[in-house]
Amino acid sequence: MNASIQTKALLWGLAAVGTWTAIKAVLAQKRKIDFRDKTVLITGGSRGLGLELARLLAKEGANLAICSRDPDELDRAEEELTQLGVVVYTEVCDVTNKIQVEHFVENVRQALGPVDVLINNAGTIIVTPYEHATEDDFRYAMDTHFWATFYMTNAVLPHMLARTEQEGKSMPGTSMPGKSMPGRIVNITSIGGKVSVPHLMPYSTSKFAQVGYSAGLRAELQRKGIYVTTVSPGLMRTGSPRNAIFKGQHEKEYAAFKVSDSIPFLTMGSREAAREIIEACRYGEAERVISLPAKIGVALQGLAPNLVAETMAIVNSILPDPGGIGEKRALGKDSETALSESVLTTLTDQAADRNNEVVD
- If DSSP codes are grouped into helix, strand and coil, which group holds residue 230? strand
pLDDT above 70 for 260: yes
Domains, in order of start, for the chain: 31-354 (3.40.50.720)
Residues 6+ apart with CB under 8 A from 23: none
What does the alpha-carbon distance between residue 73 and residue 58 come to, in Å, rounded to a whole number? 18
Q: What is the pLDDT of residues 132-185, one digit of tens each?
A: 999 999 999 999 999 999 999 999 999 999 987 776 555 444 444 444 577 999
What does the alpha-carbon distance between residue 127 and residue 133 come to, in Å, rounded to a whole number? 9
What pLDDT does 163 receive? 85
pLDDT above 70 for 17: no
Residue 5 pLDDT level (bands cut at 50, 70, 90): low
What pLDDT does 105 receive? 98
What pLDDT does 173 receive? 41
Using an 8 Å Cβ cutoff, are 118 and 93 in contact? Answer: no
Over residues 297-326, the mean pLDDT reads 98
Of 206 and 1, the one with more pLDDT: 206
pLDDT above 80 for 30: no
What pLDDT does 344 receive? 94
> What number of other Cβ atoms are within 10 A of residue 160's Cβ?
23
Average pLDDT score over the chain: 91
What pLDDT does 178 receive? 41
pLDDT above 60 for 24: no
What pLDDT does 359 receive? 74
Residue 11 pLDDT level (bands cut at 50, 70, 90): low
Over residues 69-81, the mean pLDDT reads 96
Q: Does the annotation count 203 as an active-site position?
A: yes
* Sign of the alpha-carbon torsion through 322, 249, 344, 231: positive
Percent of the chain with pLDDT over 70: 87
pTM tops 0.85, yes or no: yes
The amino acid that residue 18 corresponds to is G
Q: What is the pLDDT of residues 338-350, one digit of tens each?
A: 999 999 999 999 9
What pLDDT does 262 receive? 95
Of 10 and 353, the one with more pLDDT: 353
Set 203, 213, 254, 283: catalytic member:
203
Over residues 80-101, the mean pLDDT reads 97
Residues 6+ apart with CB under 8 A from 222: 228
Burial class of residue 10 (count of CB atoms within 10 Å of its CB; 0-12, 13-18, 19+): exposed
Of 165 and 274, the one with more pLDDT: 274
Using an 8 Å Cβ cutoff, are 175 and 167 in contact? Answer: yes
Q: At what angle do helices 201-221 and 148-170 cross, to 10 degrees?
A: 10
pLDDT above 60 for 89: yes
Over residues 10-34, the mean pLDDT reads 65
What pLDDT does 171 receive? 46
What pLDDT does 165 receive? 72
Over residues 258-271, the mean pLDDT reads 94
Q: What is the pLDDT of residues 106-117, one digit of tens each?
A: 999 999 999 999
What does the alpha-carbon distance between residue 129 and residue 235 come to, in Å, rounded to a whole number? 19
What does the alpha-carbon distance between residue 39 and residue 34 come to, in Å, rounded to a whole number? 11
Q: What is the pLDDT of residues 179-206, one digit of tens each?
A: 457 799 999 999 999 999 999 999 999 9
Using an 8 Å Cβ cutoff, are 290 and 260 in contact? Answer: no
Q: At what angle do helices 270-282 and 48-59 cross, to 10 degrees?
A: 60
What pLDDT does 182 receive? 77
Closest by CA to 212, choosing from 195, 193, 190, is 193
